[in-house]
Structure 1
């Protein structure tokens, strides 16, 4: 199962153990739970094939919300020669791909999907001290964590104090994440090694 903006959905989102009727292709197969999708059209189940193939474009339903304002700011900085209309079109294309073809990531609170390097970033897992140590590649894991806090949370977050709440054990999957009342969502740029962290609590 491969999706541009979400790594290993079978671990972090999961599909139904039993076959369910996909609301888009009407076939019985393992599906994602679509009850948490946004939009006017209410869906119950969507299969991975329909989601990855863009079938959601035909519906008033989307799986997440991208940080469009920040995406446009980054694109303008990266492509100063493009007109506003061209930048808006490029941002719209990337946002539609994110919101219409990415599995729904269950979170405690609603927040906008982060951007990096002129694109939306890929969710790679739940934050833990072992994960940050692995990502730091020999560097200081806490320093990486503190620098990775997304700009929307940076001003209101004491990153040094928050590091104490980062789990000491690796969170393996969505089921494992339910054991924690504070979760850290780790994203990686599609175009560099930049790491982004969002966090929320129940």
Structure 2
């Protein structure tokens, strides 16, 4: 049996055992599909992991760089206290429109704010507002991961979690001769992490419905 089939079957087993069927989240994925949004959201087990990490951290404020249709945004919102807030950045207006509708349908309009525009334009505005975040999730264009990390360090509260998705790239992250700008962005991101004394981080490789990839998780000192 091929690896990707095994990975998907194991994911399905864990979903059946550990993640209660949720029509709201299923509706989000269906709405995204119907709108033509790329099916690159985190998987349900990964969404639940993000939810649990936010709970373990006791996060009250979350910054998400890369919204898509709001699937992971809702996972985060569900982990926050009543006065918690998710700020999520999306470059594509069409995606943001779908996300806002999904968020409204899920009942989280007050807890999730979708900000439309290039993230590198939106991030300085968050600093101007005096915002800081207990958890920052980087899941957008990988080419700009190094810049996203720099802004994340400025916006992070002491002890904040910084999580970056899709850093393994099916193993291509190790290819120093790669010409893929996404891979190069991740490699530059890793170089920054290696030299950054104010964050303690590790990498986790993952397999499942989304194939072979992985994420970085770090704690800001």
Normalized against structure 1, the TM-score is what?
0.27
By relative contact order (CA 8 Å, sep 6+), the higher-ranking structure is: 1
Normalized against structure 2, the TM-score is what?
0.26
Structure 1 or 2: more helix by fraction: 2
Structure 1 or 2: more strand by fraction: 2
